[in-house]
């Protein structure tokens, strides 16, 4: 049996994984810096929430076409072009911030376009992994991709907070731009990554068949809907966390970075024990327990003025969010036929972004009306209600 790090012995995969890790760190630095910068441009919780919505909407609008597009063109070139586009956008945001010309509208637009570029390349990244590793190492490679993202989520916001405190948000946007260089270099210097070609005229029919299969299969449909609902509710944390940092805890940008990183720390920690948990408990048991613990921790976050307590609550929330997301997403992918996994993964990505896009907007608006503390308490209650209702209305019959 191959160890969890064995795919890194493959040179091309190792190079791409390292480049992807750097890029992921830059991406989470951007998300944190954009949210914090908006609090300096506007006092509106709705606009702060719109930063997250702008990041999420492209995934909702483009996920299915991005998945099909990745099967129609040279994936290596697609990733390179998308990374270069993201680099140019990040440089533009840095220059605007340094020159004093950055407005709330331009920040939202830049964040939206950055997300568009990364959304276009995401399915191609997922499709390239099986080309780089053999079948026996594929599960470990997928696991390492998850680890990369969660390491980035753990340290990216903290780096962003420290850089904002020491320099300014423009420096974060500039570093995010630099983070894409490695991806472009790896794509252009490794010709072993295969090209792919599909009948371009059939793209809409290909997408339609994939959707028809998922919608027509009760278990897949239930899992997809639960992905969207879970992300919609738990997105309250990313939506209002800058306001929690400023208003409830009274911390500066560096403190906000630590709070954001706490979610990633919880996610990374739980990834290593999830296989053992899934072997002993059913999907329903894991999701229900995680929902209950998440709600309790969110209620604690709503009531505390202690940075230490808030950090611990967010670590627990991050672990529970990852447990729910990983368990539901893995169950979804396992149930897909091999020939539909590309389109299926894009559809799952669509549901994730749909939940985040709606959730961040709703929670931002809710916070504007009732305040940040009450919004967190409401989200904790709503999460419990949905967890109970979904167990019966969107039943998952997989035992393990």
Give the model confidence (pLDDT) of 134-193 as tens digits. 766 665 676 677 778 778 877 888 889 889 989 999 999 999 999 999 999 999 887 655
Q: How far is CA 358 from the centre of its chain?
A: 14
Question: What share of the chain has pLDDT > 70, as a percent?
Answer: 89
Q: If DSSP codes are grouped into helix, strand and coil, which group holds residue 398?
A: coil
**Fold for the domain defined by 8-192+205-393:** Growth Hormone; Chain: A; (1.20.1250)
Torsion angle of the four alpha carbons 36, 148, 380, 224, in this order, in degrees rounded to the nearest 10: 120
- The predicted pLDDT at position 132 comes to 81
Distance between CA atoms of 247 and 267, rounded to whole angstroms? Answer: 26
Is residue 1 very low, low, confident or very high in pLDDT (cuts 50, 70, 90)? very low
Question: What share of the chain has pLDDT > 90, as a percent?
Answer: 29
Is residue 82 very low, low, confident or very high in pLDDT (cuts 50, 70, 90)? very high
Residue 73 confidence (pLDDT) above 80: no
Lowest mean pLDDT among 54-68, 103-117, 186-200, 226-240: 186-200
- Residue 8 tokens read as 């890194």
Is residue 81 very low, low, confident or very high in pLDDT (cuts 50, 70, 90)? very high
Mean pLDDT of 222-227: 88
Is residue 264 very low, low, confident or very high in pLDDT (cuts 50, 70, 90)? confident
Distance between CA atoms of 49 and 345, rounded to whole angstroms? Answer: 26
- Contacts of 300-304 with CB under 8 Å at 24 or more apart are 301/237, 301/244, 301/376, 302/372, 302/373, 302/374, 302/376, 302/377, 302/380, 303/373, 304/248
Lowest mean pLDDT among 12-26, 308-322, 384-398: 384-398
Residue 382 confidence (pLDDT) above 60: yes
Is residue 360 very low, low, confident or very high in pLDDT (cuts 50, 70, 90)? confident
- Residue 140 tokens read as 């470990």
| Mean pLDDT rounded to a whole number for the chain | 83
- The predicted pLDDT at position 399 comes to 42
Is residue 339 very low, low, confident or very high in pLDDT (cuts 50, 70, 90)? low
- The predicted pLDDT at position 349 comes to 78
- The predicted pLDDT at position 63 comes to 78
Residue 122 confidence (pLDDT) above 80: yes
Distance between CA atoms of 333 and 321, rounded to whole angstroms? Answer: 18
Distance between CA atoms of 176 and 160, rounded to whole angstroms? Answer: 10
Residue 125 confidence (pLDDT) above 60: yes
Residue 209 confidence (pLDDT) above 90: no
Where exactly are the structural domains of the chain? 8-192+205-393
Q: Which of 324, 316, 322, 336 is nearest to 283 (CA)?
A: 324
Distance between CA atoms of 96 and 105, rounded to whole angstroms? Answer: 12
> What angle do the packed helices 341-370 and 307-335 form, to 10 degrees?
150
Residue 389 confidence (pLDDT) above 70: yes
- The predicted pLDDT at position 316 comes to 93
Distance between CA atoms of 47 and 243, rounded to whole angstroms? Answer: 11
Mean pLDDT of 100-105: 91
Mean pLDDT of 119-136: 78
pLDDT in tens, 266-296: 887 887 777 677 778 888 888 889 999 999 9
**Burial zone of 58 (CB within 10 Å; 0-12 exposed, 13-18 middle, 19+ buried):** buried
- The predicted pLDDT at position 195 comes to 52
Lowest mean pLDDT among 93-102, 123-132, 169-178, 319-328: 123-132
Is residue 347 very low, low, confident or very high in pLDDT (cuts 50, 70, 90)? confident
Distance between CA atoms of 272 and 252, rounded to whole angstroms? Answer: 32
């Amino acid at each position: 049996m191959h160890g969890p790090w064995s795919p890194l012995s493959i040179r091309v995969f190792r190079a791409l994984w390292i480049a992807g890790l750097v890029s992921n760190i830059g991406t989470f630095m951007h998300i944190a810096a954009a949210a914090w910068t908006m609090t300096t441009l506007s006092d509106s919780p709705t606009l702060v929430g719109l930063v997250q919505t702008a990041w999420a909407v492209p995934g909702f609008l483009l996920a299915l076409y991005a998945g099909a597009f990745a099967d129609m063109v040279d994936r290596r070139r697609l990733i390179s072009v998308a990374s270069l586009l993201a680099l140019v956008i990040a440089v533009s945001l840095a220059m605007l911030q340094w020159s004093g010309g950055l407005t709330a509208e331009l920040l939202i637009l830049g964040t939206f376009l950055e997300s568009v570029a990364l959304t276009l390349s995401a399915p191609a990244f997922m499709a390239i992994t099986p080309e780089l590793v053999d079948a026996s190492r594929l599960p470990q490679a997928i696991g390492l991709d998850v680890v990369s993202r969660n390491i980035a989520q753990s340290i990216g916001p903290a780096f962003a907070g420290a850089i904002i405190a020491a320099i300014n948000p423009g420096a974060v946007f500039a570093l995010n731009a630099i983070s894409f260089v490695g991806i472009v270099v790896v794509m252009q210097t490794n010709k072993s990554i295969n090209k792919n070609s599909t009948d371009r005229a059939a793209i809409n029919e290909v997408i339609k068949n994939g959707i028809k299969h998922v919608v027509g299969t009760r278990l897949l449909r239930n899992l997809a809907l639960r992905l969207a609902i879970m992300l919609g509710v738990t997105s309250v944390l990313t939506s209002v966390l800058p306001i929690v940092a400023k208003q409830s805890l009274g911390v500066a940008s560096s403190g906000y970075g630590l709070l954001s990183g706490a979610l990633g720390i919880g996610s990374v920690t739980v990834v290593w024990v999830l296989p053992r948990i899934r072997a002993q408990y059913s999907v329903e048991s894991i999701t229900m327990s995680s929902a209950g613990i998440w709600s309790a921790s969110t209620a604690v976050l709503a009531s505390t003025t202690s940075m230490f307590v808030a950090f611990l609550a967010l670590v627990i929330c991050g672990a529970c969010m990852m447990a729910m997301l990983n368990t539901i997403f893995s169950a979804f992918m396992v149930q897909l036929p091999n020939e539909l996994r590309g389109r299926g993964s894009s559809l799952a990505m669509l549901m994730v972004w749909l939940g985040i896009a709606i959730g961040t907007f709703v929670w931002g608006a809710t916070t504007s009306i009732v305040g940040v503390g009450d919004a967190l308490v409401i989200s904790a209650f709503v999460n419990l209600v949905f967890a109970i209702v979904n167990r019966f209305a969107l039943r998952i019959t997989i035992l393990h």
